[in-house]
Chain A
Amino acid sequence: MTATPAPARRRVLAQARFETRTLLANGEQLLVSLVLPALALAGLTLAAVPDLGPSRRVDVATAGALALAVLSTAFTGQAIATGFDRRAGVLRLFGTTPLGRGGLLAGKAVAVLTVLALQVLVIGALGAALGWRPDPGGLLPALLGLLLGAGTFVALALLLAGTVRAEAVLALANLAWILLLGLGVLLPTAELPDALGGVARALPSGALGDAVRASLLDGTWPWQQWLVLTAWGLAAAAAAGRWFRWSG
Chain B
Amino acid sequence: MTVVAAVRELRRVFGGTVAVDGAGWSAAAGSVTAVLGPNGAGKTTTIECLEGLQRPDAGSVRVLGADPWRAPAEHRARVGVMLQEGGLPTTARPLPLLVHLAALHNTPRSVDDLAARLGIHEFARTAVRRMSGGQRQRVALAAALVGTPDVLFLDEPTAGLDPHARLDVWDLVREESRRGAGVVLTTHSFEEAERLADRVVVMARGRVVADGTLDEVRSGSRLEDVYFALTRDAR
Q: Which residues of A are in contact with B by a Cβ distance under 8 Å?
A: 1-6, 8, 10-11, 14-15, 17-18, 21-22, 25-26, 84-85, 88-90, 92-100, 103, 246-247
Contacts and interface: CB of A to CB of B under 8 A. Distances in A.
Interface in B1-60: 51-53
B105 interface: yes
A88 B87 contact: yes
Interface stretch (B69-77, B184-192, B198-206): B69-77
Contacts of B81: 93, 96-97
B105 A3 contact: yes
Nearest to B84: A89
B148 A90 contact: no
A4 B89 contact: no
Contacts of A14: 100, 103-104
Query: Chain B at the A interface: mostly helix, strand, loop or mixed?
Result: loop
8 contacts: A6-B103, A18-B96, A26-B91, A90-B88, A96-B79, A96-B81, A98-B76, A98-B105
A5 B97 CA distance: 17
A3 B87 contact: no
B104 A89 contact: no
A100 B96 contact: no
Interface of B: 51-53, 73-74, 76-79, 81, 83, 85-92, 96-97, 100-101, 103-107, 143, 147-150
B76 A89 contact: no
B106 A92 contact: no
Contacts of A89: 83, 85-88
Contacts of B101: 97
A88 B89 contact: yes
B83 to A, nearest CB: 5
Contacts of A93: 81, 83, 86-88, 143
Given A5-B76, A97-B76, A85 B104 contact: no
Of A11, A25, A26, A96, most B-chain CB atoms within 10 Å: A96
Contacts of B76: 5, 96-98, 100
Nearest to B103: A14
Contacts of A6: 103-106
Given A3-B77, A3-B78, A4-B74, A11 B104 contact: yes
A33 to B, nearest CB: 15
Given A89-B83, A93-B143, A96-B52, A3 B88 contact: no
A4 B91 contact: no
Contacts of A17: 100
A6 B108 CA distance: 10
Contacts of A2: 78, 150
Contacts of A85: 89
A18 B103 CA distance: 11
B83 A97 contact: no
A5 B88 CA distance: 20
Contacts of B53: 92, 95-96, 246-247
State the 7 A-B residue pairs at the shortest beta-carbon distance, nearest first: A93-B87, A89-B87, A5-B77, A89-B85, A14-B103, A96-B81, A5-B73
A93 B89 CA distance: 10
B110 to A, nearest CB: 14
A155 B110 CA distance: 37
Contact of A92 (B83, B92, B97, B105): B83
Nearest to B53: A92
A99 B52 CA distance: 13
Contact of B86 (A1, A25, A84, A88): A88
Contacts of A98: 73-74, 76-77, 104-105, 147
Contacts of A3: 77-78, 105-107, 147-150
A45 B14 CA distance: 56
A4 B107 contact: yes
